[in-house]
Amino acid sequence: MGFTCGLVGLPNVGKSVIFNALTKTQAESGSYAFTTVEANVGVVEVPDPRLETINQLVEAKKKTPTTLQFVDIAGLVKGSSRGEGLGNKFLGNIREVDAIAHIVRCFDDPNVMHVHPKVDPAYDIDVINMELIVADMETLEKRTVKLEKTAKSGDKDAKWQLELIQKLMGTLEEEKPARFLPLATVQEERFVKSLNLLTTKPVLYVCNIDDPTSAGDNPHVKATKEIAEKEGAPVVVLAGKLEMEIMEIDDPEEQRVFMDEMGLKETGLHHMINEGYQLLDLCTFFTVGEKENRAWTVRKNSKAPQAAGKIHSDIERGFIRAEVFHFDDLVQYKSEHAVKEAGKMRLEGKEYIVKDGDILHFRFNV
């Protein structure tokens, strides 16, 4: 675990309701601004039917899905970058997450106060984006002062870093997030990552509606999707209060019946979890055995020792080889022994790139 997705949005858009449904916890929510003061953190299982299949084919005492961490962050208002509302706390919390789930209010309810006179997704999204942009510009201005001093001392890297910062500033001045600036080299990518800018974080838009049956005709949803399409960002549409009702039903069969009555094939939350997983550019590998069948999260294009480190740092440090086969091989041959007999199990070294769906046994020596 360790990958985090922050729930971000204006006050009273439904962040805490969605967080409660996601994590099955009781973060405080209300009809007034700034109900959430401290960030709430919850761990969420990533649904993956492959683990269920593995558990049927490989006997183990327990099965453990992989997880994501969601953070319910205090609501932001116009002026947060200057400390308005809970701005400083809000911005600090965002710096700590890997991706942003931007919750957009797409419902009208006179009983739930909105910080603006009317529900307007385009305006609301712009408020959030501008506050993040202003905060990033301040970060870059401070970094520029430091780099200029370093450049005067003859530092070779300071010059290109200053030039890149000017390009980033130009992008932000056009009211575009820093992630829109194409980077030419791995060196530039590493430097920009070290700046920890808010607008470099990938974004998922979540339309919080009141009635899932009318999502297709909801003008607020259409407006949000138009904005997301321009940014190349994914969109999830869900009804936060309804999702919380679904998650409060413990019996799986009762939950399925209720979802059928509401015309839902899957929960919006599952869709959101899966989209968050993809947004963070993650993949899943598995370990299997007598004690536990388990799914693990790793960045795409990670090498085998890095994957081993997700289990334990000692395994990464003492990595020798990995026995590798794929989930599809297990499904085809029905057992590990049969996979090996068919010649589908192989040994891979330190340069092996872990694939989504790989099943790994690590050889190591500490």
Q: Per-residue pLDDT tens for 173-208?
A: 999 999 999 999 999 999 999 999 999 999 999 999
Quote the number of domains for the chain: 3
- CA-CA distances (angstroms) from residue 361 to 55, 282, 320, 321? 16, 20, 11, 9
Residue 80 confidence (pLDDT) above 70? no
Q: Are residues 84 and 172 in the same domain?
A: no
Measured CA to CA, the distance from residue 211 to residue 218 in angstroms comes to: 9
Whether 296 is in a domain gets the answer no
- pLDDT at residue 151 in the model: 87
The reported pLDDT for the residue numbered 39 is: 78
pLDDT over 70 at 86, yes or no: no
CA distances to 257, 288, 316, 330, 349 from 326, rounded to whole Å, are 35, 12, 21, 7, 16
Q: How far apart are CA 245 and CA 263, in angstroms?
A: 15
Any idea what the CATH number is for the domain that residue 319 is in?
Answer: 3.10.20.30
Residue in the block written with tokens 């400083």 = 88
Q: Are residues 142 and 214 in the same domain?
A: no
Look at residue 278 and tell me whether its pLDDT is greater than 70. yes
In a domain, 122, yes or no: no
- What is the average pLDDT across 337-343? 97
- Is 266 in the same domain as 330? no
**Span 330-355, mean pLDDT?**
98
Do residues 20 and 107 share a domain?
A: yes
Q: Which of 199, 232, 260 is the last residue of a domain?
A: 199
Q: Within a 10 A sphere around the Cβ of 192, how many other Cβ atoms?
A: 20
* Residue 285 belongs to some domain of the structure: no
Q: Are residues 74 and 24 in the same domain?
A: yes
Q: Is the residue at 293 inside a domain?
A: no
d(CA 113, CA 188): 44
Domain boundary among 199, 222, 253: 199
The pLDDT, as a whole number, for residue 259 is 93
Is 286 inside a domain boundary? Answer: no
Report the chain's mean pLDDT, rounded to a whole number: 90
Which tokens is 317 given?
Answer: 């440090």
Tell whether 338 and 311 lie within a shared domain: yes
Say which DSSP state 118 is in: S
Is pLDDT above 90 for 333?
yes
DSSP 21-55: HHHT------SSTT---SPEEEEEE---HHHHHHH
Question: Would you place residue 87 in the very low, low, confident or very high pLDDT band (cuts 50, 70, 90)?
Answer: very low
Q: What is the pLDDT of residue 199?
A: 96
Question: What single-letter amino acid sits at 198?
Answer: L
Domain for residue 292, yes or no?
A: no
Tell whether 153 and 174 lie within a shared domain: yes
pLDDT bucket at 34, cuts 50 / 70 / 90 = very low
Collect contacts of 262-270 with beta carbons under 8 A, ≥24 apart: 262/212, 262/213, 263/212, 263/213, 264/212, 267/238, 267/243, 268/212, 268/236, 268/237, 268/238, 268/239, 268/243, 269/18, 269/21, 269/22, 269/238, 269/243, 270/47
Say yes or no: 213 and 143 in one domain. Answer: no
Range in 261-270, 291-300, 337-346 the model is least confident about: 261-270
Residue range 19-31: mean pLDDT, rounded: 68
Domain boundary among 145, 171, 199: 199
Residues 323 and 207 in one domain: no
Average pLDDT over residues 93-98: 90
What is the pLDDT, as a whole number, of residue 68? 92
Which CATH number covers residue 155?
A: 1.10.150.300
User: In which domain, by residue range, is 171 found?
Assistant: 130-199
Task: Quote the pLDDT of residue 83.
Answer: 52
What percentage of the chain has pLDDT greater than the value 70?
A: 90
Q: What is the pTM of this model?
A: 0.88
- Say yes or no: 21 and 100 in one domain: yes
DSSP string, 191-239: HHHHHT-GGGS-EEEEEE-S-GGGGGG-HHHHHHHHHHHHHT--EEEE-
- Are 58 and 102 in the same domain? yes
Residue 284 lies in a domain: no
Mean pLDDT across 21-35 = 58
| 207 inside domain | yes
Same domain, 107 and 217: yes
